[in-house]
Homo-oligomer: A and B are copies of this chain.
Amino acid sequence: MKKNAKSEEPKAPATLSDFLCFAVYSTNLAFGRVYKPLFEELGLTYLQFIALVALHEQDDQTVGSLGEKLYLDSSTLTPLLKRLEGMGYVTRQRDSVDERQVRVSLTEAGRRVRDRGSCGLSPIVEATGLAPDDFRRLQRDLTTLRDSLIKAAT
């Protein structure tokens, strides 16, 4: 427990650049800006596209299960899914076994738009300026951090 080895312990952050959360926050905003043109072309928002990806990964999910994967709850997802339904990209129907649940599925059009979106992503991977190994390492470190935070929040 060496307390004052030279700058071992991260202290209470004093400036913006000391906040890890601000680094995450601002990087998220930056991603949003890079992605915007691509998704605009598709008539989708970032989150709408992410939802389509999650459904592609596993179709016919309940709102709750989708929320677990996206770290969102029904108050965010329900309006979003209704918009996607309005665009014809997903269907929403009550589960006949448990009527409390709503099952969400991709339509053909939804699959197509998801595929079209995925094709446009390579330039964005380029835009990160990261070498493949660094890309994956950062991804891994972030998910580890996320899981620690989620755990701490419980």
A residues neighboring B (CB under 8 Å): 2, 5, 7-10, 12-17, 19-31, 33-35, 46, 50, 53-54, 56-57, 69-72, 118-119, 121-122, 124-130, 132-136, 138-139, 141-146, 148-150, 152-153
Contact = CB atoms under 8 A, between A and B. Distances in A.
Contact of A30 (B8, B46, B153): B153
Nearest to A122: B12
Contact of A146 (B23, B126, B133, B153): B23
Nearest to A129: B148
B25 A121 contact: no
Contacts of A50: 16, 19, 22, 25
A81 B125 CA distance: 35
A29 to B, nearest CB: 5
A40 to B, nearest CB: 13
B20 A57 contact: no
Residue picked from A9, A23, A132, most chain B C-beta under 10 Å: A23
Contacts of A138: 20, 23, 138, 141-142, 145
A28 B62 CA distance: 24
Contacts of A71: 26, 29-30
A56 B129 CA distance: 32
Contacts of A34: 149, 152-153
Contacts of A146: 23, 26-27, 30
